[in-house]
Structure 1
Amino acid sequence: MGPFGSQIRHKGIPDEPALLAAAAENPGGSVAEIDPTYLDDPNGYVPPEAIRGAWLVDSSGKLTGEYQENPRHGVPQDDFSRLTDPDHWLGWLGDDPATAVRKGIEESLRAQVADAVLEWVKILETPRFLTGGRRHPQDEQLMVVTRAALAAPFALSVRTTQYGRSILLGVFSWAAVNLSTPEVRKDRYWFDLGVGLEWAGEQLQQRIYEVDGPRS
């Protein structure tokens, strides 16, 4: 079985120096064929759908001539499964947390470039979640949630008139306070490029309290 779990077919060995060199560096593995239609930089993040298939490589680093097509090849799609899969309360994001986070990311992009269009976004790791609250006045075993936050690592594709398509990596953070009194609820987004979840998670510890300030 090859890397995509689909049928392998024989295509012959192409005479492409770059492909042969990549095979030599991956003995016993495979070399992906990238579809440039959906990318701005093939050396950057590559969404799974942008891989046409893979050439299989033998143990000596030579192409076998066998090729496995990627059944997922096509237009990249949103993937929020790592946001919604965890057993964590997301009620503060509404009935559709994925749509809410997507809208927040798009608003962050348009705050920088007004005509930005978010083509797709993928949450790459389980986000960091924070919640805070106070004891329920009638039942000390219950907690009233008053503030919540998340930091979600992403890869996304955005298109603008001036810059064309760009694929960006970073962490989107969102904090909300006064959740028990919706009429005075405050929310704030942070859109950090080129950072990791560890850094963003540490920042979230402070950011969840910054929302109370006048900049909110």
Structure 2
Amino acid sequence: MGLFGRRNRGKGIPDDPGLLAAAAANPGGSVAEIDRTYVDDPNGYVPPEAIRGAWLVDGSGKLTGEYQENPRHGVPQDDFGKLTDPDHWLGWMGDDPAAAVRTGIEESLTAQVADAVVEWVKILETPRFLTAGRRSEDGQTLLVTRAAIAAPFALSVRATQHGRSVLLGVFSWAAVNLAPPEPRRDRHWFDLNVGLDWAEERLKERIYALDTGAGGPAGR
């Protein structure tokens, strides 16, 4: 893993069998210290803010006693940078695309678990985009008639019965009839544990299935 922050030699070498075993498996690297306040399963997805720091490991797989603190350690925050940074038109999603995607994710979850509360959402890779249009009657303008996005995410959600869960998947959104006169139609899909390539292929089908009111199940 990458190292960050300032080094501290004052902590000493901890006598923790699990930590020592992890060091032995990562010679010349480092072993992260995970804050269990924010992550229940350290073997699953861990947001950067949930890492307290990292113990340095020498070439023989032993802890050096050096520790690098993570300046980002704290409450995990939303990160929609990979959604909004690309130079791609997102006007069809409203004035705040990040908020619109978060709302869509929240609605997908509460449709399944009524009291679900999303703690944080991170877009993990640059989404895949689809856009189609037609020429205006005078031929001078391209009118966008349909658009879609598939955005890979990691998120933390809490619910009374299920506690906290960290979920990975792809959130997809398609919209058609973006230019008059037909009424606009939108649909979301919340697919867990799928890859972005898979979601992009489904998106090509889903964006046109909306023309007939189909589109497959909203999630899996």
* TM-score category of the 2 structures, normalised to the smaller one: over 0.9
Instruction: Report the CA distance shift for 1:41/1:172 in structure 2 as closer, same or farther (over 3 A).
Output: same
Counterpart CA distance in 2 for 1:65 and 1:124 is: 32
Please show how residues 64-103 of structure 1 align to structure 2 within 5 Å.
Answer: 64-103=64-103
Name the amino acid aligned to 2:88.
H
1:97, distance to aligned residue in structure 2 (A): 0.4
Q: Tell me the alpha carbon deviations over residues 187-207 of structure 1, each in whole angstroms, 9 at most, x when there is no partner.
A: 000000000001001111101
| 2:188 paired residue number | 189
Alignment-mate amino acid for residue 193 of structure 2: G
Give unpaired runs (5+ residues) of structure 1. Answer: none
Q: TM-score, normalised by structure 1?
A: 0.95
SS in 2 for 1:212: helix
Residue 172 in 1 paired to residue 171 in 2? yes
Question: Which deviations, in whole Å up to 9, do the C-alpha atoms of 1:117-155 show, x marking residues without a partner?
Answer: 111000000000000111121125x31100000000000
SS at match of 2:102: helix
Distance of 1:182 and 1:126 partners within structure 2: 32
Q: In the alignment, which residue of structure 2 is the partner of 1:40?
A: 40
Aligned residue runs from structure 1 range 9-20, under 5 A? 9-10=8-9, 11-20=11-20
Query: Could you tell me which residue of structure 2 aligns to residue 124 of structure 1?
Result: 124
Q: CA deviation at 1:39?
A: 1.4
The amino acid of 2:101's aligned partner reads: V
- Structure 1 residue runs of 4 or more that deviate by more than 6 Å after TM superposition: none
One-letter identity of the residue aligned with 2:91: G
Partner of 1:204: 203
Equivalence map 1:46-65=2 (5 Å):
46-65=46-65
SS at match of 2:206: helix
* Residue 41 of structure 1: how far off its partner (Å): 1.3
Structure 2 stretches of 5 or more lacking a match? Answer: 216-220
State the AA in 2 paired with 1:199: W
Q: Which amino acid aligns with 1:13?
A: I
What corresponds to 2:218 in structure 1?
Answer: none
Percent of aligned positions that are identical: 77
Question: How many equivalent pairs are there?
Answer: 213
After TM superposition, give the deviation of residue 182 of structure 1 in Å. Answer: 7.8
1:183 Cα deviation (Å)? 7.0
Q: CA deviation at 1:59?
A: 1.1
Question: Deviations 1:42-87 (Å, cap 9, x if unpaired)?
Answer: 1110000110100001111110000011111111000000000111
Task: Tell me how large the CA RMSD over aligned residues is.
Answer: 1.3
Q: C-alpha separation between the residues in 1 aligned to 2:29 and 2:177?
A: 53
Q: Tell me how far apart the structure 2 counterparts of residues 67 and 212 of structure 1 sit (CA, whole Å).
A: 57
> For the residues of structure 1 that align with 2:137 and 2:125, how far apart are their CA atoms?
37
CA 1:19–1:182: 2 relative to 1, 3 Å: farther
Number of the residue aligned with 1:30:
30
Q: Deviations over 1:87-119 (max 9, x none)?
A: 100000111100000000000001101111111
Q: Which amino acid in 2 is paired with 1:210?
A: A
How far, CA to CA, are the matches of 1:54 and 1:183 in structure 2? Answer: 56
2: CA distance, partners of 1:210 / 1:203: 10
Map of 1:106 onto structure 2: 106
